[in-house]
């Protein structure tokens, strides 16, 4: 079945990407950076909407302090309400650095080869082996049986349902689900010639198509009943949900919105949802415009962010048992999450989907 086929393939691509990234790092290959750039005195970091909330200010400010100390430059955090705005800020030069998703990075790099990756956060191992998150497709608890064929969840059951994407610029909330559904649909006679508009316009493959504009917004659309299913990354909900049963990588797992949920989800505290599809994906990370930052400054920033001192900073890497909300939070008591340097090859997983991901 489709689920049995796609997950091993994705994992193989992910492992290959990790190996390539690791080997590239070992070889010490240099980033393609213009050494004569006219670097500004103030560096701006642009943040995605879900990392722009007030409750995450301490993490953003602490990262800015680390970079400020390393470079001697003033650092400004640019908050956004739209994924496109965050990415375009790095492309246009309104920001020199940005925290953006895998698809956004690949598209930006394709438009301008001067956009390069800087660092990503690892998982709890502190190594590249678990530097990944999961693209989730979820439904309201009590409706999950509609998406099963026998004992397994299958994507062919979502045809005719109401879906909420995040944004057309989202990796987990648009691009990857589009790729997965396209791959599944093309294996059937009815949809063998499926087009992008069939998956993005109401009344075609889906009875209704909605956009949440943020990850939390997509989930809210589903929990409110406006949509039957929603797609988003697991990391967006890490501080706002509790595991009732299972784990984030397993279809059938149940999650409950907790009392820490922000305003977007405040009406749904205590509500539960079920994962019907979970796909591993390369972690989001910091990218930069190398036409605006010198090689020397990049090296300083990289060294500071990947240092042991930063790894031990609990304002950046929040302990698992802490009630503090954070962008980067360990999942286990002994978690060793940290930043590691990456190369362009890290995003090979996303490039493996590019035949299906819309441009």
Residue range 180-199, pLDDT digits in tens? 999 888 887 789 889 999 99
Mention every residue, 6+ apart, whose C-beta is less than 8 A from residue 336. 122, 124, 125, 126, 311, 330
Given this model, what pLDDT does residue 73 score? 97
Distance between CA atoms of residues 301 and 294, nearest Å: 11
Mean pLDDT for the stretch of residues 72-79 = 98
- In sequence order, the β-bridge partners of residue 111 are none
Q: What is the arithmetic mean of pLDDT over 159-165? A: 97
Would you call 204 helix, strand, or coil by DSSP? Answer: coil
Mean of the pLDDT values across residues 8-23?
A: 43
**pLDDT tens, 258-272?**
998 999 999 999 999
230, two tokens: 């929603």
Percent pLDDT > 70 in the chain is: 89
Q: Residue 164's pLDDT is what? A: 98
- Domains annotated for the chain, with CATH where assigned, are 2-128+283-351 (3.40.190.10), 132-282 (3.40.190.10)
> Which residue would you say has higher pLDDT here, 13 or 279?
279
Rounded mean pLDDT, 148-167: 95
Q: What letter would DSSP give residue 122?
A: -
Q: Is 280 helix (H, G, I), strand (E, B) or coil?
A: strand
Distance from the Cα of residue 281 to its chain's centroid: 8
| Residue 238 in this model has a pLDDT that exceeds 60 | yes
**pLDDT confidence of residue 282:** 86
Q: What are the structure tokens assigned to 50, written together?
A: 């879900």
Residues above pLDDT 90, as percent of the chain: 68
How many other CB atoms are there within 10 angstroms of residue 9's CB atom?
11
pLDDT given for residue 350 in this prediction: 80
**pLDDT at residue 18, rounded to an integer:** 44
More confident residue, 40 or 14: 40
Q: Are 166 and 275 in contact (CB under 8 A)?
A: no
Q: What is the CA radius of gyration of the chain?
A: 20
Q: Look at 16-25, 63-72, 220-229 and tell me which has the smallest mean pLDDT.
A: 16-25
Express each pLDDT in 300-357 by its tens digit: 999 999 999 999 999 999 999 998 888 999 989 999 999 999 999 988 878 877 666 5
d(C-alpha 195, C-alpha 193), whole Å? 6
Average pLDDT, the chain: 88
The burial of 350, by beta-carbon neighbours within 10 Å (0-12 exposed, 13-18 middle, 19 or more buried), is given as buried
Judge whether residue 158 has pLDDT over 90. Answer: yes
- Mean pLDDT to the nearest integer, 161-189: 90
**What average pLDDT does range 123-145 have in this prediction?**
95
Can you give the pLDDT at residue 59? 96
Bridge pairing between strands 115-121 and 339-341: antiparallel
CA angle 221, 226, 231 (to 5 degrees): 45
Query: Rounded CA gap, 192 and 186, in Å?
Result: 4
DSSP tally for the chain: helices H, then strands E: 10, 17
Q: Stretch 53-71: mean pLDDT, rounded?
A: 96
Query: What's the pLDDT score for residue 42?
Result: 97
CB–CB of 208/162 below 8 Å? Answer: yes
Backbone angles phi, psi at 326, to 5 degrees: -155, 160
Residue with tokens 């990262």, as numbered in its chain: 63
Q: Over range 108-116, report the average pLDDT.
A: 95
pLDDT for 96:
97
Per the CB < 8 A criterion, the answer to whether 284 and 309 are in contact is no
Positive or negative: CA dihedral 119, 122, 125, 129: negative
């Amino acid at each position: 079945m489709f689920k049995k086929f796609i997950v091993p393939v994705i994992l193989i691509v992910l492992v290959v990407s990790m190996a390539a990234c690791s080997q590239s790092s070992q070889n010490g290959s240099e980033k393609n950076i213009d050494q004569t750039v006219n670097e500004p005195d103030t560096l701006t970091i642009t943040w995605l909407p879900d990392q722009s909330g007030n409750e995450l200010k301490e993490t953003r400010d602490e990262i800015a302090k680390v970079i400020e100390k390393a470079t001697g430059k003033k650092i400004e955090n640019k908050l956004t309400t739209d994924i496109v705005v965050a990415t375009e800020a790095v492309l246009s030069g309104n920001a020199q650095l940005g925290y953006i998703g895998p698809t956004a990075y690949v598209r930006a790099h394709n438009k301008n080869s001067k956009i390069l990756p800087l660092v990503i956060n690892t998982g709890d191992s502190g190594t590249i082996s678990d530097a990944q998150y999961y693209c989730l497709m979820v439904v309201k608890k009590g409706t999950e049986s509609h998406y099963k064929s026998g004992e397994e969840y299958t994507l062919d059951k979502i045809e005719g349902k109401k879906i909420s994407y995040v944004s057309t610029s989202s990796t987990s909330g648009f691009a990857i689900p589009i790729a997965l559904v396209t791959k599944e649909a093309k294996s059937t006679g009815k949809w063998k010639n499926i087009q992008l508009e069939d998956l993005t316009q109401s009344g075609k493959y889906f009875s209704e198509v909605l956009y949440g504009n943020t990850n939390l917004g997509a989930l809210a659309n589903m929990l409110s009943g406006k949509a039957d299913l929603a797609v988003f990354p697991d990391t967006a909900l890490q501080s706002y949900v509790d595991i009732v049963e299972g784990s984030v990588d397993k279809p059938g797992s149940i999650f409950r919105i907790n009392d820490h949920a922000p305003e977007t989800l405040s009406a749904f505290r205590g509500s539960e949802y079920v994962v019907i599809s979970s796909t591993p994906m390369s972690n989001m990370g910091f990218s930069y415009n190398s036409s605006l930052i010198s090689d020397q400054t990049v090296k300083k920033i990289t060294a500071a962010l990947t240092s042991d001192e930063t790894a031990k900073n609990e304002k950046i890497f929040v302990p698992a048992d802490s009630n503090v909300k954070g962008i980067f939070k360990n999942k286990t008591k002994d978690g060793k999450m940290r930043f590691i340097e990456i190369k362009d090859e890290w995003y090979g997983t996303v490039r493996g989907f590019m035949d299906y991901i819309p441009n």
